[in-house]
Amino acid sequence: ICLGSGIIISSDGYILTANHVVEGMDEIKVAIPDSKMEYTARVVGADPPTDVAVLKIDATGLPAITLGDSDQLEVGDVVLAIGNPFNVGQSVTMGIVSALGRNGLAGFNQYQDFIQTDAAINPGNSGGALVDAEGRLIGINTSIITDESIHGMNISGNEGIGFAVPINLARHVMERLISGGKVARGYLGIHMQDVDAD
């Protein structure tokens, strides 16, 4: 059993989440907070390189989130991370945007343009919403850096360094997954790196 979070993006049952939450699952169940309803979801499409997946449940009249514009974010903006950490129930944590455009992180998705935040993100928050102070979706919580990932220690909770896929990237991927079930990309066959003194 894998536990994660998701975001209702349309009243007719489309849900945005992190690919690693649903990858390899035989059956996906979606429970709506404050409701006794549980739905079986199907994967509309998934994009491992960005860690984005779209699910669909058979429901109507669902409360859908308003999408924001992640290109308008600035370091220091207040953000809220929403999800179900450690299966304790729906929770909201507050923090700020610590950095934008984070990339080059080993062991993460292939396409990285992360929003870094110090809002507490823990196991179970993956796939949940990162929203701005007005409640608009600006990112999908995807990963954290822990002492374990840095020093090999057995600690897997929040250390104040969390990452979210920006909604503008996720929206682009989501639209392609809904329309065709996959994301097609060109390939240049080059490797890019930062320019240094050498």
CB-based contacts of 140, cutoff 8 Å, min separation 6: 7, 16, 17, 18, 51, 52, 127, 128, 129, 130, 164, 165, 167, 170
Catalytic residue among 51, 70, 98, 143: 51
Q: Does the annotation count 51 as an active-site position?
A: yes
Catalytic residue among 5, 20, 132, 143: 20
Catalytic residue among 118, 126, 132, 143: 126
Q: Does the annotation count 10 as an active-site position?
A: no
Q: Does the annotation count 191 as an active-site position?
A: no
CA-CA distances (angstroms) from residue 165 to 13, 109, 132, 189?
21, 10, 14, 25
Active site residues: 20, 51, 126
